[in-house]
C-alpha cells in the first residue's frame, strides 16, 4: 500500500468532562489514494455526515481530495477528486487545506504552489465531487495553509506564507 503511517484519527470530545477519547483511525491504502500519499488537511461537513481529507500525491493526475461518509463510527469512502495542477511542468500537487461551505454543497481546497485554490460542487445523492472553478492567487510560491467560507458562502478567505486573501 501507500504506507502504514498515513492515517486520520477520530476522537470524541465530552464537553461535560472536557476529555478527548480515541474513537478510531483510518489507515489509507491504495484503495483510498495512490502510492506516496500524505494527509495534510481534514474538515467535517456542517451536518457531521461527511469528512473531507486532502494531501499530497507523488504523481500527476491522481486524486488527492477524498470525501468519506461518517456513520456508525466508521468512515466509508464516497468519492475522490484531483486538484488542478498550478502550472505545466509540475509533477506533484500538494493540497494543504479543505473546507466545506456552510450549505454543504461546496468544498473549497487550497494548494501548495502559486496560491492555487479550487471550488468543487458536492451532491450527496450522487456522491459526486465536481470541479467548478480554480484560481492561482500568486505567481510566487505562496502556499494556502488555511481556507474558510464566509457564513453565507459569498466569500472565501485564504491564509499562508505571510499573506491573507479574501475574494
pLDDT tens digits, 97-147: 999 999 999 999 988 777 788 999 999 899 899 999 988 876 666 788 899
| Residue 25 grid cell | 483511525
Residue partners of 66: CB distance under 8 A and separation at least 6: 32, 33, 52, 53, 54, 77, 79, 80, 81
pTM for the whole thing? 0.80
| Residue 137 grid cell | 492567487
77 forms bridges with which residues in the sheet?
68
Q: What pLDDT, on a 0 to 100 scale, did the predictor assign at position 164?
A: 66
Amino acid at each position: 500500500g501507500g504506507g502504514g503511517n498515513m492515517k486520520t484519527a477520530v476522537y470524541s470530545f465530552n464537553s461535560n468532562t472536557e476529555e478527548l477519547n480515541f474513537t478510531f483511525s483510518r489507515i489509507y491504502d491504495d484503495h483510498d489514494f495512490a502510492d506516496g500519499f500524505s494527509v495534510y488537511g481534514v474538515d467535517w461537513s456542517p451536518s457531521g455526515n461527511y469528512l473531507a481529507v486532502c494531501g499530497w500525491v507523488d504523481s500527476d493526475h491522481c486524486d488527492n481530495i477524498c470525501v468519506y461518509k461518517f456513520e456508525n463510527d466508521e468512515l466509508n469512502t464516497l468519492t475522490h477528486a484531483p486538484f488542478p495542477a498550478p502550472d505545466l511542468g509540475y509533477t506533484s500537487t500538494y493540497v494543504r487545506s479543505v473546507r466545506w461551505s456552510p450549505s454543504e454543497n461546496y468544498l473549497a481546497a487550497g494548494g501548495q504552489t502559486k496560491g492555487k485554490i479550487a471550488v468543487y460542487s458536492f451532491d450527496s445523492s450522487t456522491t459526486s465531487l465536481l470541479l467548478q472553478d480554480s484560481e492561482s492567487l500568486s505567481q510566487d510560491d505562496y502556499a494556502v495553509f488555511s481556507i474558510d467560507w464566509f457564513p453565507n458562502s459569498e466569500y472565501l478567505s485564504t491564509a499562508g506564507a505571510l499573506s491573507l486573501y479574501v475574494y
